[in-house]
Structure 1
Amino acid sequence: MEDTEQGSQQHPDSVPEMGEDAVTSVGPASPPPTMTEEERQELQEELFKVEDEIQTLSQVLVAKEKQLADIKRKLGITPLNELKQNITKTWQEVTTSTAYRRTSETLSQASLKATAAFSNVGSAITRKLEDVRNAPTFKSFEEKVETLKTKMTPSASTTNPGDQDSSSPTTESLLDQPEGLPTQETPMN
């Protein structure tokens, strides 16, 4: 009984897994006793035929791939063009998908709501600024700035055009000149 257990442990019966090479899994074992020499010879011939067919098919595949590449080259189809076509096709598939359309609609609605919210915020800020501008404190500040401007602006009777240096502009001319326009003394480059 010990011998049977040892024998089964040394040569466990295993079935080759899918994709496992039958030759390497079987190892150097003699043919099964139920197979005759004639059957063995037939199987050996079939094995050589199948291996030869596989090699022939591999060569045909390589030749067809070369032919394909040559045809594409003659047609001007480059790998970059193929990539562009694949991207375009994929993008069309994405844009026509239900998920994309739903997302697009949701984002469109969100955009409309955000635009309305920003408009409301802008209107509220405008109203608030108008309220501040009409407030007595702001009116008082505005009057003080106007008074200061009047005090700083020399009057026409006290200013003698002959006394002024002709190269420096007067405060009044600086205040009256529109923004963004160069002064006469500033050269344009």
Structure 2
Amino acid sequence: MEDAEKGSQERLDSAPEVGEDAVTSVGPSPPPPPAITEEERQELQEELDKVEDEIQTLSQVLAAKEKQLADIKRKLGVTALNELKQNITKTWQEVTTSIAYRRTSETLSQASLKATAAFSNMGSAISRKLEDVSTQSLQHSASMPAMRNAPTFKSFEDKVETLKTKMTPSTSDPVDEEREDPPAAESEGSPLHEEPMD
């Protein structure tokens, strides 16, 4: 048995460890372990057996404790889903009480307040501008009748009316039309001449 252990020990020593590069694995082999006496070897072997027995015993105790735990949870009605919920709740509480979470929350809250104030100010400014435009529009439409009765507008209106009558073709002879004054288009009852509405 000792020969088998020696052979496996030699193979483990010669195999490069994870992360060890090719240069070190090709280099000179490590020095052999210091020579130990047969008594020391016997003591080490007994200690190894003892540690393996303890590990096996602890594994059995752990398995028994896990079984006992499962039985207790089953009797209490604790399921894996309930445990998951409890773990999530506990984790969330830990996160919300953390300093980083509180700082982030405060920063976002302040940003939200500033954004709300900015949107409110922008809305107020737009409302005021629309009110100004609406007021100017009302003032402009209120001044239209007054502008229509102004002498300049009357003069312009008369000129347009005269031009309109000259350009309108009539059914009479064109030669007669040149000699005569414009027909009854300038009379008050004519549909072409409109009175200003007040």
Q: Once the 2 structures are TM-superposed, how far is the Cα of residue 92 of structure 1 from its aligned partner?
A: 1.6
Q: Residue 33 and residue 90 in structure 1: after superposition, are their counterparts in 2 closer, same or farther (change >3 A)?
A: closer
In the TM superposition, 1:6-17 aligns within 5 A as none
8 Å CA contact 1:72, 1:78 repeated in 2: yes
* 1:127 corresponds to 2:128: yes
Residues 29-81 of structure 1 deviation map (CA, whole Å, 9 limit, x = unaligned): xx975413x44444333332322222222122112111111111211222222
- CA-to-aligned-CA distance 1:101-128 (integer Å, 9 cap, x gap): 2222211111111111111111111111
The structure 1 residue matched to 2:9, chosen from 19, 25, 34, is 25
- Separation of aligned partners in 2, 1:23 and 1:86: 49
Rounded Cα–Cα distance in structure 2 between residues aligned with 1:84 and 1:22: 52
As a proportion of its length, which structure holds more helix? 2
Distance 1:22 1:136, change over 3 A: farther
Q: What are structure 2's unaligned runs of at least 5 residues?
A: 13-32, 145-198
Partner of 1:135, secondary structure, is: helix
Runs of 4+ that moved beyond 2 A: 21-28, 31-34, 38-50, 135-140
Aligned-residue Cα RMSD (Å) equals 3.3
Change (3 A) 1:104 1:90: same
Q: TM-score, normalised to structure 1's length?
A: 0.51
2:110 — aligned with what? 109
Give the Cα separation in 1 of the matches to 2:78 and 2:128: 63
Larger radius of gyration: 2
Q: RCO (CA 8 Å, sep 6+): is it higher in 1 or 2?
A: 2
8 A contact 1:94–1:100 mirrored in 2: yes
The number of residues matched between the two structures is 118
- The equivalent residue for 2:85 is 84
Percent of residue pairs identical? 77
Q: Output the CA distance in 1 between the equivalents of 2:93 and 2:102.
A: 12
CA distance in 1, matches of 2:118, 2:7: 74
Distance 1:116 1:23, change over 3 A: farther
